[in-house]
Structure 1
Amino acid sequence: MGIFSRMTDIINSNLNSLLDQAEDPEKMIRLIIQEMEDTLVEVRSSSAKVLADRKGAARRLEQVQAEAETWEEKAKLAISKGREDLARAALQEKHTIEDEVVAVEAELKATDEHIEQLNTEVAQLQQKLSDAKAKQKALMMRTKTVESRIKVKRQMHRDALDTAFQRFEHFERRMDTLESQLESMDVGRDVPPDLAAEINALAEDDRINDELSRLKSEVGGDKEA
Protein backbone atom coordinates (compact mmCIF):
# COMPACT_ATOMS: atom_id res chain seq x y z
CA MET A 1 0.00 0.00 0.00
CA GLY A 2 1.39 3.44 -0.97
CA ILE A 3 1.95 6.19 1.52
CA PHE A 4 -0.81 8.41 0.19
CA SER A 5 -3.29 5.55 -0.18
CA ARG A 6 -2.69 4.51 3.41
CA MET A 7 -2.94 8.10 4.61
CA THR A 8 -6.27 8.54 2.80
CA ASP A 9 -7.58 5.33 4.39
CA ILE A 10 -6.61 6.63 7.83
CA ILE A 11 -8.19 10.03 7.18
CA ASN A 12 -11.42 8.47 5.94
CA SER A 13 -11.59 5.98 8.80
CA ASN A 14 -14.08 6.55 11.59
CA LEU A 15 -12.25 6.33 14.90
CA ASN A 16 -15.43 5.77 16.90
CA SER A 17 -16.46 2.89 14.64
CA LEU A 18 -13.03 1.29 14.88
CA LEU A 19 -13.03 1.55 18.66
CA ASP A 20 -16.57 0.16 18.90
CA GLN A 21 -15.53 -2.91 16.91
CA ALA A 22 -12.26 -3.45 18.77
CA GLU A 23 -12.01 -6.05 21.50
CA ASP A 24 -9.33 -3.91 23.15
CA PRO A 25 -10.04 -0.22 22.36
CA GLU A 26 -6.98 1.00 24.24
CA LYS A 27 -4.69 -1.27 22.22
CA MET A 28 -6.47 -0.34 18.98
CA ILE A 29 -6.05 3.39 19.52
CA ARG A 30 -2.34 2.90 20.32
CA LEU A 31 -1.95 1.11 16.98
CA ILE A 32 -3.88 3.85 15.16
CA ILE A 33 -1.69 6.57 16.67
CA GLN A 34 1.46 4.62 15.80
CA GLU A 35 0.23 4.17 12.22
CA MET A 36 -0.54 7.88 11.89
CA GLU A 37 2.83 8.92 13.28
CA ASP A 38 4.68 6.48 11.01
CA THR A 39 2.71 7.76 8.01
CA LEU A 40 3.53 11.37 8.84
CA VAL A 41 7.24 10.53 9.00
CA GLU A 42 7.07 8.87 5.58
CA VAL A 43 4.99 11.70 4.11
CA ARG A 44 7.41 14.34 5.32
CA SER A 45 10.29 12.39 3.78
CA SER A 46 8.41 12.07 0.48
CA SER A 47 7.38 15.74 0.59
CA ALA A 48 11.02 16.81 0.70
CA LYS A 49 11.68 14.85 -2.51
CA VAL A 50 8.56 16.22 -4.23
CA LEU A 51 9.55 19.79 -3.36
CA ALA A 52 13.08 19.17 -4.63
CA ASP A 53 11.70 17.74 -7.88
CA ARG A 54 9.47 20.80 -8.31
CA LYS A 55 12.41 23.15 -7.90
CA GLY A 56 14.29 21.18 -10.53
CA ALA A 57 11.28 21.31 -12.88
CA ALA A 58 10.94 25.06 -12.33
CA ARG A 59 14.60 25.60 -13.22
CA ARG A 60 14.18 23.39 -16.31
CA LEU A 61 11.15 25.45 -17.37
CA GLU A 62 13.13 28.67 -17.12
CA GLN A 63 15.92 27.09 -19.20
CA VAL A 64 13.68 25.81 -22.01
CA GLN A 65 11.76 29.09 -22.12
CA ALA A 66 15.05 30.91 -22.46
CA GLU A 67 16.12 28.47 -25.20
CA ALA A 68 12.84 29.03 -27.08
CA GLU A 69 13.41 32.80 -26.96
CA THR A 70 17.00 32.29 -28.11
CA TRP A 71 15.89 30.28 -31.18
CA GLU A 72 13.35 32.95 -32.01
CA GLU A 73 16.11 35.59 -31.90
CA LYS A 74 18.23 33.39 -34.16
CA ALA A 75 15.33 33.04 -36.61
CA LYS A 76 15.01 36.85 -36.71
CA LEU A 77 18.71 37.21 -37.31
CA ALA A 78 18.61 34.67 -40.14
CA ILE A 79 15.72 36.53 -41.77
CA SER A 80 17.59 39.83 -41.48
CA LYS A 81 20.52 38.22 -43.27
CA GLY A 82 18.33 36.83 -46.01
CA ARG A 83 18.76 33.28 -44.85
CA GLU A 84 15.17 32.06 -44.77
CA ASP A 85 16.37 28.47 -44.72
CA LEU A 86 18.21 29.08 -41.48
CA ALA A 87 15.25 30.98 -40.10
CA ARG A 88 13.01 27.98 -40.82
CA ALA A 89 15.47 25.64 -39.08
CA ALA A 90 15.68 28.01 -36.05
CA LEU A 91 11.88 28.14 -35.81
CA GLN A 92 11.75 24.36 -36.00
CA GLU A 93 14.11 24.17 -33.02
CA LYS A 94 11.99 26.76 -31.23
CA HIS A 95 8.84 24.65 -31.74
CA THR A 96 10.62 21.57 -30.41
CA ILE A 97 11.68 23.51 -27.35
CA GLU A 98 8.17 24.91 -26.92
CA ASP A 99 6.81 21.34 -26.86
CA GLU A 100 9.21 20.66 -24.02
CA VAL A 101 8.04 23.86 -22.31
CA VAL A 102 4.46 22.59 -22.46
CA ALA A 103 5.53 19.23 -21.01
CA VAL A 104 7.50 20.86 -18.17
CA GLU A 105 4.61 23.24 -17.43
CA ALA A 106 2.23 20.26 -17.23
CA GLU A 107 4.70 18.52 -14.92
CA LEU A 108 4.87 21.59 -12.68
CA LYS A 109 1.09 21.90 -12.60
CA ALA A 110 0.71 18.26 -11.60
CA THR A 111 3.41 18.67 -8.97
CA ASP A 112 1.72 21.76 -7.55
CA GLU A 113 -1.60 19.92 -7.40
CA HIS A 114 0.14 17.00 -5.72
CA ILE A 115 1.72 19.29 -3.14
CA GLU A 116 -1.59 21.06 -2.49
CA GLN A 117 -3.35 17.73 -2.00
CA LEU A 118 -0.51 16.57 0.19
CA ASN A 119 -0.75 19.67 2.39
CA THR A 120 -4.50 19.20 2.76
CA GLU A 121 -4.19 15.53 3.64
CA VAL A 122 -1.34 16.13 6.08
CA ALA A 123 -3.42 18.78 7.84
CA GLN A 124 -6.35 16.35 8.01
CA LEU A 125 -4.08 13.60 9.28
CA GLN A 126 -2.65 15.92 11.92
CA GLN A 127 -6.22 16.65 13.06
CA LYS A 128 -7.03 12.94 13.11
CA LEU A 129 -3.88 12.33 15.14
CA SER A 130 -4.90 15.02 17.62
CA ASP A 131 -8.37 13.44 17.89
CA ALA A 132 -6.85 9.99 18.40
CA LYS A 133 -4.55 11.26 21.15
CA ALA A 134 -7.49 13.01 22.81
CA LYS A 135 -9.46 9.76 22.71
CA GLN A 136 -6.45 7.88 24.08
CA LYS A 137 -6.25 10.32 26.98
CA ALA A 138 -9.98 9.98 27.61
CA LEU A 139 -9.73 6.18 27.50
CA MET A 140 -6.84 6.20 29.95
CA MET A 141 -8.80 8.43 32.32
CA ARG A 142 -11.87 6.20 32.01
CA THR A 143 -9.72 3.11 32.59
CA LYS A 144 -8.24 4.61 35.75
CA THR A 145 -11.70 5.63 36.93
CA VAL A 146 -13.11 2.16 36.34
CA GLU A 147 -10.14 0.53 38.04
CA SER A 148 -10.58 2.85 41.02
CA ARG A 149 -14.29 2.06 41.20
CA ILE A 150 -13.58 -1.67 41.02
CA LYS A 151 -11.05 -1.31 43.84
CA VAL A 152 -13.60 0.61 45.92
CA LYS A 153 -16.28 -2.00 45.20
CA ARG A 154 -13.94 -4.79 46.23
CA GLN A 155 -13.06 -2.90 49.40
CA MET A 156 -16.73 -2.36 50.15
CA HIS A 157 -17.46 -6.04 49.66
CA ARG A 158 -14.54 -6.94 51.90
CA ASP A 159 -15.78 -4.54 54.57
CA ALA A 160 -19.25 -6.05 54.30
CA LEU A 161 -17.74 -9.49 54.78
CA ASP A 162 -15.75 -8.29 57.77
CA THR A 163 -18.94 -6.80 59.21
CA ALA A 164 -20.76 -10.08 58.72
CA PHE A 165 -18.01 -11.94 60.57
CA GLN A 166 -18.05 -9.38 63.33
CA ARG A 167 -21.82 -9.81 63.72
CA PHE A 168 -21.39 -13.57 63.73
CA GLU A 169 -18.72 -13.34 66.42
CA HIS A 170 -20.96 -11.00 68.45
CA PHE A 171 -23.80 -13.53 68.16
CA GLU A 172 -21.46 -16.30 69.32
CA ARG A 173 -20.47 -14.23 72.35
CA ARG A 174 -24.14 -13.65 73.19
CA MET A 175 -24.84 -17.37 72.95
CA ASP A 176 -21.86 -18.07 75.21
CA THR A 177 -23.26 -15.60 77.77
CA LEU A 178 -26.75 -17.12 77.63
CA GLU A 179 -25.37 -20.64 77.98
CA SER A 180 -23.27 -19.52 80.97
CA GLN A 181 -26.34 -17.98 82.60
CA LEU A 182 -28.29 -21.19 82.04
CA GLU A 183 -25.50 -23.29 83.52
CA SER A 184 -25.26 -21.00 86.57
CA MET A 185 -28.95 -21.57 87.27
CA ASP A 186 -28.25 -25.31 87.69
CA VAL A 187 -25.40 -24.83 90.16
CA GLY A 188 -26.21 -26.70 93.47
CA ARG A 189 -28.88 -28.77 91.84
CA ASP A 190 -26.76 -31.78 91.27
CA VAL A 191 -28.77 -33.92 93.83
CA PRO A 192 -30.81 -36.49 92.01
CA PRO A 193 -34.54 -35.55 91.94
CA ASP A 194 -35.63 -38.91 93.56
CA LEU A 195 -33.32 -38.51 96.55
CA ALA A 196 -34.53 -35.00 97.21
CA ALA A 197 -38.12 -36.22 97.09
CA GLU A 198 -37.35 -38.98 99.60
CA ILE A 199 -35.75 -36.55 102.04
CA ASN A 200 -38.72 -34.21 101.72
CA ALA A 201 -41.02 -37.18 102.37
CA LEU A 202 -39.13 -38.01 105.59
CA ALA A 203 -39.53 -34.48 106.79
CA GLU A 204 -43.22 -34.63 105.97
CA ASP A 205 -43.50 -37.92 107.92
CA ASP A 206 -41.91 -36.33 110.97
CA ARG A 207 -44.38 -33.48 110.85
CA ILE A 208 -47.31 -35.84 110.53
CA ASN A 209 -46.01 -38.00 113.43
CA ASP A 210 -45.73 -34.94 115.61
CA GLU A 211 -49.25 -33.92 114.76
CA LEU A 212 -50.48 -37.45 115.42
CA SER A 213 -48.81 -37.56 118.84
CA ARG A 214 -50.32 -34.23 119.76
CA LEU A 215 -53.78 -35.39 118.80
CA LYS A 216 -53.41 -38.66 120.76
CA SER A 217 -52.32 -36.75 123.83
CA GLU A 218 -55.27 -34.44 123.58
CA VAL A 219 -57.74 -37.28 123.06
CA GLY A 220 -56.28 -39.24 126.02
CA GLY A 221 -56.59 -36.27 128.31
CA ASP A 222 -60.27 -35.87 127.51
CA LYS A 223 -61.06 -39.51 128.39
CA GLU A 224 -59.47 -39.26 131.85
CA ALA A 225 -61.53 -36.24 132.67
Structure 2
Amino acid sequence: MGVIQRFKDIMSANINAMLDKAENPEKMIDQYMRNLEDDLGKVKAETASVMAEEARAKRAYDEALAEVEKYQKYAEKAVAAGNDNDARVFLQSKKTAQSKLEGLKLTYDTAAANAQKMRQMHDKLVNDISDLRARKETIKAKVAVAKAQERVNQVGSSLRGVSNNMSAFDRMEEKANKMLDTANAMAQLNASADTNVDDLARKYDLDDVAGTSDIDDELAALKAKLN
Protein backbone atom coordinates (compact mmCIF):
# COMPACT_ATOMS: atom_id res chain seq x y z
CA MET A 1 0.00 0.00 0.00
CA GLY A 2 2.94 2.34 0.70
CA VAL A 3 4.16 2.20 -2.90
CA ILE A 4 0.74 3.30 -4.16
CA GLN A 5 0.74 6.35 -1.91
CA ARG A 6 4.32 7.15 -2.90
CA PHE A 7 3.47 7.32 -6.58
CA LYS A 8 0.36 9.34 -5.89
CA ASP A 9 2.64 11.84 -4.14
CA ILE A 10 5.08 11.80 -7.07
CA MET A 11 2.39 12.59 -9.62
CA SER A 12 0.80 15.22 -7.38
CA ALA A 13 4.18 16.90 -6.89
CA ASN A 14 4.75 17.03 -10.64
CA ILE A 15 1.34 18.59 -11.24
CA ASN A 16 1.91 21.18 -8.52
CA ALA A 17 5.35 21.96 -9.92
CA MET A 18 3.78 22.59 -13.32
CA LEU A 19 1.23 24.95 -11.84
CA ASP A 20 3.94 26.83 -9.95
CA LYS A 21 6.16 27.21 -13.05
CA ALA A 22 3.71 28.21 -15.73
CA GLU A 23 5.68 31.24 -16.97
CA ASN A 24 6.51 29.49 -20.23
CA PRO A 25 3.74 26.97 -21.01
CA GLU A 26 5.49 25.66 -24.14
CA LYS A 27 8.66 24.65 -22.27
CA MET A 28 6.87 23.53 -19.13
CA ILE A 29 4.48 21.22 -20.99
CA ASP A 30 7.49 19.42 -22.47
CA GLN A 31 9.07 19.14 -19.03
CA TYR A 32 5.80 17.93 -17.58
CA MET A 33 5.54 15.24 -20.23
CA ARG A 34 9.10 14.10 -19.49
CA ASN A 35 8.23 13.90 -15.78
CA LEU A 36 5.12 11.86 -16.51
CA GLU A 37 7.04 9.50 -18.80
CA ASP A 38 9.58 8.99 -16.03
CA ASP A 39 6.78 8.38 -13.52
CA LEU A 40 5.16 5.93 -15.90
CA GLY A 41 8.38 3.92 -16.05
CA LYS A 42 8.51 3.78 -12.25
CA VAL A 43 4.83 2.92 -11.90
CA LYS A 44 5.18 0.23 -14.56
CA ALA A 45 8.12 -1.36 -12.74
CA GLU A 46 6.30 -1.25 -9.39
CA THR A 47 3.12 -2.58 -10.96
CA ALA A 48 5.01 -5.50 -12.44
CA SER A 49 6.60 -6.17 -9.04
CA VAL A 50 3.24 -6.09 -7.23
CA MET A 51 1.62 -8.28 -9.89
CA ALA A 52 4.48 -10.77 -9.50
CA GLU A 53 3.88 -10.81 -5.74
CA GLU A 54 0.19 -11.43 -6.41
CA ALA A 55 1.10 -14.37 -8.66
CA ARG A 56 3.40 -15.87 -5.99
CA ALA A 57 0.71 -15.45 -3.31
CA LYS A 58 -1.85 -17.04 -5.60
CA ARG A 59 0.44 -19.96 -6.34
CA ALA A 60 1.12 -20.54 -2.64
CA TYR A 61 -2.58 -20.32 -1.85
CA ASP A 62 -3.47 -22.75 -4.63
CA GLU A 63 -0.84 -25.20 -3.39
CA ALA A 64 -2.16 -24.97 0.18
CA LEU A 65 -5.72 -25.43 -1.05
CA ALA A 66 -4.68 -28.49 -3.03
CA GLU A 67 -2.98 -29.85 0.07
CA VAL A 68 -6.18 -29.41 2.14
CA GLU A 69 -8.21 -31.11 -0.56
CA LYS A 70 -5.64 -33.92 -0.78
CA TYR A 71 -5.84 -34.71 2.97
CA GLN A 72 -9.61 -34.52 2.79
CA LYS A 73 -9.66 -37.19 0.07
CA TYR A 74 -7.19 -39.42 1.97
CA ALA A 75 -9.35 -39.14 5.11
CA GLU A 76 -12.42 -40.12 3.13
CA LYS A 77 -10.63 -43.12 1.65
CA ALA A 78 -9.38 -44.18 5.08
CA VAL A 79 -12.88 -44.01 6.51
CA ALA A 80 -14.20 -45.97 3.54
CA ALA A 81 -11.54 -48.58 4.19
CA GLY A 82 -12.52 -48.75 7.88
CA ASN A 83 -9.18 -47.29 9.04
CA ASP A 84 -10.33 -44.65 11.49
CA ASN A 85 -6.85 -44.08 12.92
CA ASP A 86 -5.49 -43.30 9.45
CA ALA A 87 -8.45 -41.02 8.88
CA ARG A 88 -7.60 -39.13 12.09
CA VAL A 89 -4.00 -38.60 10.89
CA PHE A 90 -5.17 -37.25 7.56
CA LEU A 91 -7.72 -35.00 9.22
CA GLN A 92 -5.03 -33.63 11.58
CA SER A 93 -2.80 -32.87 8.59
CA LYS A 94 -5.77 -31.27 6.88
CA LYS A 95 -6.34 -29.04 9.93
CA THR A 96 -2.73 -27.90 9.86
CA ALA A 97 -2.93 -27.22 6.13
CA GLN A 98 -6.22 -25.42 6.68
CA SER A 99 -4.61 -23.00 9.15
CA LYS A 100 -1.82 -22.36 6.68
CA LEU A 101 -4.38 -21.85 3.91
CA GLU A 102 -6.21 -19.16 5.88
CA GLY A 103 -2.99 -17.17 6.32
CA LEU A 104 -2.11 -17.56 2.64
CA LYS A 105 -5.65 -16.50 1.68
CA LEU A 106 -5.23 -13.24 3.60
CA THR A 107 -1.83 -12.68 1.97
CA TYR A 108 -3.21 -13.38 -1.49
CA ASP A 109 -6.23 -11.09 -1.01
CA THR A 110 -3.95 -8.24 0.06
CA ALA A 111 -1.57 -8.83 -2.86
CA ALA A 112 -4.48 -9.02 -5.30
CA ALA A 113 -5.94 -5.73 -4.00
CA ASN A 114 -2.54 -4.02 -4.29
CA ALA A 115 -2.05 -5.37 -7.80
CA GLN A 116 -5.49 -4.17 -8.85
CA LYS A 117 -4.83 -0.67 -7.52
CA MET A 118 -1.43 -0.54 -9.20
CA ARG A 119 -2.91 -1.68 -12.49
CA GLN A 120 -5.61 0.99 -12.22
CA MET A 121 -2.99 3.63 -11.49
CA HIS A 122 -0.83 2.42 -14.34
CA ASP A 123 -3.74 2.39 -16.80
CA LYS A 124 -4.92 5.84 -15.70
CA LEU A 125 -1.43 7.27 -16.07
CA VAL A 126 -1.11 5.76 -19.55
CA ASN A 127 -4.46 7.27 -20.56
CA ASP A 128 -3.57 10.64 -19.03
CA ILE A 129 -0.28 10.74 -20.89
CA SER A 130 -2.04 9.85 -24.13
CA ASP A 131 -4.56 12.66 -23.62
CA LEU A 132 -1.81 15.11 -22.67
CA ARG A 133 0.18 14.28 -25.79
CA ALA A 134 -2.79 15.38 -27.86
CA ARG A 135 -3.39 18.44 -25.70
CA LYS A 136 0.30 19.32 -25.82
CA GLU A 137 0.12 20.10 -29.53
CA THR A 138 -2.97 22.24 -28.94
CA ILE A 139 -1.24 24.12 -26.15
CA LYS A 140 1.83 24.70 -28.30
CA ALA A 141 -0.36 25.91 -31.16
CA LYS A 142 -2.07 28.37 -28.83
CA VAL A 143 1.30 29.61 -27.57
CA ALA A 144 2.47 30.09 -31.17
CA VAL A 145 -0.68 32.08 -31.98
CA ALA A 146 -0.22 34.17 -28.84
CA LYS A 147 3.37 34.96 -29.80
CA ALA A 148 2.27 35.90 -33.31
CA GLN A 149 -0.38 38.19 -31.81
CA GLU A 150 2.27 39.83 -29.66
CA ARG A 151 4.38 40.49 -32.75
CA VAL A 152 1.34 41.95 -34.53
CA ASN A 153 0.73 44.21 -31.55
CA GLN A 154 4.36 45.35 -31.59
CA VAL A 155 4.20 46.07 -35.32
CA GLY A 156 0.94 47.95 -34.78
CA SER A 157 2.64 50.13 -32.16
CA SER A 158 5.48 50.81 -34.59
CA LEU A 159 3.02 51.70 -37.35
CA ARG A 160 1.40 54.25 -35.07
CA GLY A 161 4.78 55.99 -34.91
CA VAL A 162 5.05 55.82 -38.70
CA SER A 163 1.58 57.31 -38.98
CA ASN A 164 2.64 60.20 -36.77
CA ASN A 165 5.68 60.75 -38.93
CA MET A 166 3.52 60.70 -42.06
CA SER A 167 1.23 63.31 -40.54
CA ALA A 168 4.20 65.53 -39.75
CA PHE A 169 5.47 65.02 -43.31
CA ASP A 170 2.08 66.05 -44.69
CA ARG A 171 2.13 69.21 -42.56
CA MET A 172 5.59 70.10 -43.82
CA GLU A 173 4.48 69.54 -47.42
CA GLU A 174 1.43 71.74 -46.89
CA LYS A 175 3.64 74.46 -45.40
CA ALA A 176 6.01 74.22 -48.37
CA ASN A 177 3.09 74.52 -50.80
CA LYS A 178 1.87 77.60 -48.96
CA MET A 179 5.30 79.20 -49.13
CA LEU A 180 5.51 78.46 -52.87
CA ASP A 181 2.04 79.91 -53.51
CA THR A 182 2.96 83.06 -51.58
CA ALA A 183 6.17 83.47 -53.53
CA ASN A 184 4.36 83.02 -56.85
CA ALA A 185 1.75 85.59 -55.84
CA MET A 186 4.46 88.10 -54.93
CA ALA A 187 6.17 87.53 -58.27
CA GLN A 188 2.90 88.17 -60.10
CA LEU A 189 2.34 91.36 -58.14
CA ASN A 190 5.87 92.60 -58.86
CA ALA A 191 5.52 91.81 -62.56
CA SER A 192 2.18 93.69 -62.67
CA ALA A 193 3.71 96.78 -61.06
CA ASP A 194 6.63 96.88 -63.52
CA THR A 195 4.27 96.57 -66.50
CA ASN A 196 2.07 99.52 -65.36
CA VAL A 197 5.05 101.87 -65.07
CA ASP A 198 6.33 100.97 -68.54
CA ASP A 199 2.87 101.39 -70.08
CA LEU A 200 2.47 104.76 -68.39
CA ALA A 201 5.85 105.99 -69.65
CA ARG A 202 5.06 104.95 -73.22
CA LYS A 203 1.83 106.94 -73.02
CA TYR A 204 3.67 110.15 -72.36
CA ASP A 205 6.28 109.35 -74.95
CA LEU A 206 3.51 109.08 -77.55
CA ASP A 207 2.01 112.38 -76.42
CA ASP A 208 5.34 114.12 -76.97
CA VAL A 209 5.65 112.67 -80.46
CA ALA A 210 2.09 113.61 -81.31
CA GLY A 211 2.67 117.24 -80.16
CA THR A 212 5.82 117.70 -82.27
CA SER A 213 4.09 116.43 -85.42
CA ASP A 214 1.25 119.00 -85.11
CA ILE A 215 3.71 121.88 -84.77
CA ASP A 216 5.64 120.77 -87.82
CA ASP A 217 2.43 120.60 -89.83
CA GLU A 218 1.37 124.06 -88.66
CA LEU A 219 4.81 125.46 -89.50
CA ALA A 220 4.68 123.99 -93.02
CA ALA A 221 1.23 125.51 -93.58
CA LEU A 222 2.43 128.93 -92.41
CA LYS A 223 5.38 128.83 -94.74
CA ALA A 224 3.17 127.95 -97.68
CA LYS A 225 0.86 130.89 -96.97
CA LEU A 226 3.63 133.39 -96.80
CA ASN A 227 5.09 132.29 -100.04
Same fold (TM over 0.5): yes
Percent of aligned pairs sharing the same letter: 18
Distance 1:20-1:59 versus aligned 2 partners, 3 A rule:
closer
1:7 is displaced (CA, Å) by 3.7
- Distance in structure 2 (CA, Å) of the matches to 1:68 and 1:157: 87
- Distance in structure 1 (CA, Å) of the matches to 2:179 and 2:17: 68
Residues 66-103 of structure 1, C-alpha deviations (whole Å, 9 max, x = no match):
3333444555677757573x655544333222222112
Alpha carbons 1:11, 1:124 under 8 Å: kept = no
Query: 1:118 corresponds to which residue?
Result: 118
Distance 1:20-1:58 versus aligned 2 partners, 3 A rule:
closer
1:179 is displaced (CA, Å) by 2.9
- Distance in structure 1 (CA, Å) of the matches to 2:24 and 2:171: 50
Query: 2:162 corresponds to which residue?
Result: 162
- Distance in structure 2 (CA, Å) of the matches to 1:108 and 1:73: 25
Query: 1:220 corresponds to which residue?
Result: none
The within-5 A match list for 1:64-103 is 64-73=64-73, 84=85, 88-103=88-103
Which ranges in structure 1 are unaligned for 5 or more consecutive residues?
Answer: 190-202, 204-225
- TM-score, scaled relative to structure 2: 0.61
Amino acid at match of 2:100: E
- Distance in structure 2 (CA, Å) of the matches to 1:93 and 1:156: 92
- TM-score, scaled relative to structure 1: 0.62
Query: 1:24 corresponds to which residue?
Result: 23
Distance 1:151-1:170 versus aligned 2 partners, 3 A rule:
same
Amino acid at match of 1:57: A
Residues 26-52 of structure 1, C-alpha deviations (whole Å, 9 max, x = no match):
154444433332222222222222222
Amino acid at match of 2:112: D
The within-5 A match list for 1:7-18 is 7-9=7-9
Amino acid at match of 1:148: A
Distance 1:152-1:9 versus aligned 2 partners, 3 A rule:
same
Moved more, 117-126 or 37-46: 117-126
Moved more, 151-160 or 128-137: 128-137
Aligned length: 187
Alpha carbons 1:68, 1:97 under 8 Å: kept = yes
Residues 137-177 of structure 1, C-alpha deviations (whole Å, 9 max, x = no match):
44323322221211112222222222222232232233233
Report the RMSD for the aligned CA atoms in angstroms.
3.8
SS in 1 for 2:163: helix
Moved more, 27-36 or 141-150: 27-36
Query: 1:211 corresponds to which residue?
Result: none
Alpha carbons 1:60, 1:104 under 8 Å: kept = yes
Alpha carbons 2:75, 2:88 under 8 Å: kept = yes
Moved more, 180-189 or 31-40: 180-189
Distance 1:157-1:69 versus aligned 2 partners, 3 A rule:
closer
Alpha carbons 2:68, 2:98 under 8 Å: kept = yes
- Distance in structure 2 (CA, Å) of the matches to 1:19 and 1:46: 24
The within-5 A match list for 1:180-191 is 180-183=180-183, 185=186
Alpha carbons 1:71, 1:91 under 8 Å: kept = yes
Alpha carbons 1:71, 1:90 under 8 Å: kept = yes
1:11 is displaced (CA, Å) by 6.9
Alpha carbons 1:10, 1:36 under 8 Å: kept = no
- Distance in structure 1 (CA, Å) of the matches to 2:140 and 2:3: 30
Query: 2:175 corresponds to which residue?
Result: 175
